[in-house]
Structure 1
Amino acid sequence: MPGTPEATPAKEVSDAPSPRRLLSSEKVYEGRIWDVVSDTFQLSETGDALTRDYIDHPGAVAILPMNDQGQILLLKQYRHPVGMDLWEVPAGLLDVEGEDFVVGAARELAEEADLAAGTWNVLADVFNSPGSSSEAIRIYLARDLTEVPHHERHERTDEEAEIEFHWISLDDAVASVLAGRLHNPSAVVGILAAAAARAGGYEDLRPADAPWPAHPSQR
């Protein structure tokens, strides 16, 4: 069709590092979990100095648990900043120095869902809010599930003590996303990615130890 731009082949669409000249960097707030940093930089050698404040985040992992019937596990948890109970997937910070990413994911799956998984794959890598945070999240698909023995289970406290579990078919989860009933980004991305991967029998998913160059520790 005249005037219609040609589509770019999918293999050529890829985010990439883009180093810019950093003039200064200052920690303006130190929090319990993450800090706020103020960076001044130039987009080009002759460009004006720009200042941006952002959350300096250690990164996180999220896990979409799937049972042998193809159902996925969602957790309901209260989130104070938005004042809502959200249906989410197990997730947590990568705040243990030197911990392997999938080891951290297995830890979070055990702590939040009392589950262990025998098969792990990467569903997606995302930046949660790249305009205001350095947080990078890796979302895994966890299958071949077994329950953690009762005597080994993590004692959940605070908001986590209110967690409720619900197994749902992948199709119903997709419908909930498209109807606007689910809002947690890791759950939304994980559900849609799993639905897309299902068409190929999940064979095209990356292995659990696939490189993650977007994580802060790798940049």
Structure 2
Amino acid sequence: MTIKDTPEEWEVRGTGTPFVGNKTSVRTDDVVMPGGTVVRRDYQVHPGSVAVLALDDADRVVVLRQYRHPVRQKLWEIPAGLLDVPGENPLHAAQRELYEEAHVKAEDWRVLTDVYTTPGGCDEAVRIFLARGLSEAEGDRFDVEDEEADMELARVPVADLVRGVLAGELHNNCLVVGVLSLVAAREGDGLDALRPAEAPWPARPFEA
């Protein structure tokens, strides 16, 4: 038996967009269930995101601490951001986010994993990259505003992040998935066996 997610689309009898926000919207679909009944499903429409697990030569991960209003907490996270341009190459977006949020560049890029953050209520897809061979980026630092103006940066050992995740002290989705995927990859075929940075991403197709 092959364990693999597969594309499928059930019939939609009607659809509407009751809310349109700055970056996302809410869609309402009337979906035909297997038994023939029609039920309404509301979900957030999201452009997609990228995240970067940046690993330095001392086995530390670049993390940042940022206020997240919906959960009323300051969360430790890995650099991440929206795919602002339709069809944007996710690698280019990830490189931009690493520069803007951490003022860091990387020589080696791999795809660590692809996830849907909350598929029961949002279509957000996130590609998490592994970045190695880190160095300070050239040029001026990116001007920050709003929540990012209060952001803290740190480099934390992988082992400390794993302990924090399993202790229930770290909650950001991309950090949790990224760190545990890193550990799993190491224990499996190794980091060099990860998919190349330009690997296809059916959830958010892009041009190389």
Q: TM-score, normalised by structure 2?
A: 0.94
Q: CA deviation at 1:165?
A: 1.1
Q: What secondary structure sits across from 1:58 in the alignment?
A: coil
* Contact 2:87–2:206 (8 Å) recurs in 1: no
Between the aligned partners of 2:28 and 2:96, the Cα distance in structure 1 is 32
Q: What secondary structure sits across from 1:81 in the alignment?
A: helix
The change in CA–CA distance for 1:75 and 1:147 in structure 2 (over 3 A counts) is same
Larger Rg: 1
Q: CA deviation at 1:140?
A: 0.5
Between the aligned partners of 2:153 and 2:33, the Cα distance in structure 1 is 47
Deviations 1:42-68 (A, max 9, x none): 133x61111100000000001001001
**Alignment length, in residue pairs?**
206
Partner of 1:106: 95
* Contact 1:136–1:216 (8 Å) recurs in 2: no
Partner of 1:36: 26
Which segment is superposed worse, 25-34 or 92-101?
92-101
Partner of 1:183: 171
Aligned residue type for 2:96: R
Q: What secondary structure sits across from 2:165 in the alignment?
A: helix
Write out the 4+ residue segments of structure 1 that deviate beyond 4 Å after TM superposition. none
Q: CA deviation at 1:150?
A: 4.1
* Contact 1:117–1:144 (8 Å) recurs in 2: yes
Partner of 1:4: none
Deviations 1:76-116 (A, max 9, x none): 00001111010000000001233211001111111111111
Matched, 1:161 2:153: no
Partner of 1:71: 60
1:1-219 → structure 2 map (5 Å cutoff): 8=1, 12-44=2-34, 47-151=36-140, 153-199=141-187, 200-215=189-204
* Contact 1:41–1:50 (8 Å) recurs in 2: yes
Q: CA deviation at 1:117?
A: 1.1
* Contact 1:77–1:85 (8 Å) recurs in 2: yes
Query: Please, what is the CA RMSD of the aligned residues?
Result: 1.6
Q: What secondary structure sits across from 2:101 in the alignment?
A: helix
* Contact 1:58–1:216 (8 Å) recurs in 2: no
**Unaligned segments of structure 1, at least 5 residues:** 1-7
Aligned residue type for 1:33: K
Between the aligned partners of 1:43 and 1:63, the Cα distance in structure 2 is 38
Aligned residue type for 1:127: Y
Q: TM-score, normalised by structure 1?
A: 0.90
Partner of 1:3: none
Between the aligned partners of 1:217 and 1:133, the Cα distance in structure 2 is 20
